[in-house]
Structure 1
Amino acid sequence: MDKVYSISEFAERVNVSMSTLRRWDASGEFPAKKRPSGHRYYDESDVRKLLNLTPEEMRKVIVYCRVSSHSQKDDLAFQIESMEAYCLSAGIAVDEWVKEIGGGMNFKRKKFLALMDAIVAGEVKRLIIAHKDRLVRFGFDFIQHLADRHGCEIEVVNQESLSPQEEMTEDLLAIVHTFSCRLYGMRKYRKDTE
């Protein structure tokens, strides 16, 4: 069932003023639905219609799997296998599998950006990932907010409950690892600069 919005909630959701919505309703340009009590409301189908989003039945369920480097191809294969087993056991019909090799702190990954574009376009109903860090190493809460705003549910299969200290330690290690890889990669340019 589609989510139901009051006029104020709908105005915020589609970034239009309440007076514009009332004017559209009165003119018949974009009428609101009415309850038996006379209260007006909108639902998620109205969001899709107003924002020219994909109809609900055409929206995809996508599984996203990622590893950081080519040396981890075996890990990627295991991740895909695990996600297949999870989706089969949960009875989830998957429309698309996205497999990518690239660092979790790199926001310029081609498949990641294509996935974000699809979410913003309203083409993704559900995104399934093994761990939060498989999607992004930092900024997951922002990605979650973006997905929520565009009607996409992000399902994290393996929820880890780390203490704040453990989480910070993992984040710091990821930062150190990323920058040490960059420094190592810059060694080949040393001869050019000398």
Structure 2
Amino acid sequence: TIGYACISNSERTADLDRQIMVLEAYCNNQGWLVEIIRDLGSGINYRKRGLVRLIKMICSEKVERLVLTNKDRLVRFGSELIFTICEIFGTEIVIINHFSESTEEEDLGTDILEIIKVFSARLYGSRSQKNKKIVEKLQEAANQIN
């Protein structure tokens, strides 16, 4: 059994610790031995070290079961593709919290911000002042949606 925990940035380490605690408690309660894969990166970054490792393990049929705290911990968009890979290679998927604590509007705002960050980083460079100002303005706008 593999538990996968992921945060988008290093400022959210408390959330990573909480995810790991929930994964371990749930798996122990089920009587499963669990290995936790910790990951750091955007939900639309499909090359995160832990995610790539997880996919390789699944495709090598080394993962009997994948446990997630929430569906969106894996990837922001396209989790169904990874779930299909799990199905093909015989990996059971367990999602502990099927319900999101955020509203649809909050999720949409977060999704839009993630997409904007990726494209603005590609256009202007992730460290440019212009990019940082654009992202700040867009974050303000997205927060008004919430």
Shorter-normalised TM-score: what interval? 0.7 to 0.9
In structure 2, the residue matched to 1:71 is: 11
CA distance in 2, matches of 1:169, 1:123: 36
Q: Which residue of 2 aligns with 1:7?
A: none
Q: Alignment partner for residue 50 of structure 2, among 111, 114, 131? A: 111
Match of 1:131 in 2: 70
Pairwise CA distance, 1:177: 3.6
CA–CA separation in structure 2 for the residues paired with 1:172 and 1:77 = 25
Q: Percent identity?
A: 30
Which of 99, 107, 110 is the matching residue for 1:170?
Answer: 107
Superposition deviation, residue 77 in structure 1? 0.8
Quick one: which of 78, 83, 87 aligns to 1:148?
87
Q: TM-score, normalised by structure 2?
A: 0.75
Relative contact order higher in (CA < 8 Å, ≥ 6 apart):
2
Match of 1:90 in 2: 30
Whole-angstrom distance in 1 between the partners of 2:75 and 2:90: 19
Provide the alpha-carbon RMSD of the alignment.
Answer: 2.5
Q: C-alpha offsets along residues 132-175 of structure 1, whole Å, 9 cap, x if unaligned?
A: 1101111111111111011011111111179xx92x76145323
For 2:45 and 2:108, the matched residues in 1 are separated by 14
2:17 is the alignment partner of 1:80: no
Larger radius of gyration: 1
Structure 2: stretches of 5+ with no match in the other structure: 132-146
Number of matched pairs: 126
Unmatched 5+ stretches in structure 1: 1-60
